[in-house]
Amino acid sequence: MKKVSIINEIDDMLSTYCEGCFVKAQLRKDEGKTAAHRFCISECTVGTQLQFLGQELNKMGSKG
């Protein structure tokens, strides 16, 4: 996978699923910003996929 395609995929996922996410907004309102962030990182399937893509970018380093 090329670096640009990974970045595009991350951007698409963020704009499709994360912007305007009701769960994140509600958690942020009820429990605070940290709890919402923790949910996105550890429990959300989109967050898990974003982490995977970020790890793939890190593996590539400056090449690609």
Question: Is the per-residue pLDDT at 62 higher than 90?
Answer: no
CB 60 within 8 A of CB 3: yes
Q: Give the other-Cβ count within 10 Å of 53's Cβ.
A: 17
Question: Is the per-residue pLDDT at 37 higher than 60?
Answer: yes
pLDDT at res. 33: 96
Question: Is the per-residue pLDDT at 60 higher than 70?
Answer: yes
pLDDT at res. 53: 96
pTM for this predicted structure: 0.82
Question: Is the per-residue pLDDT at 30 higher than 80?
Answer: yes
Distance CA 36, CA 20 (A): 13
pLDDT at res. 7: 95
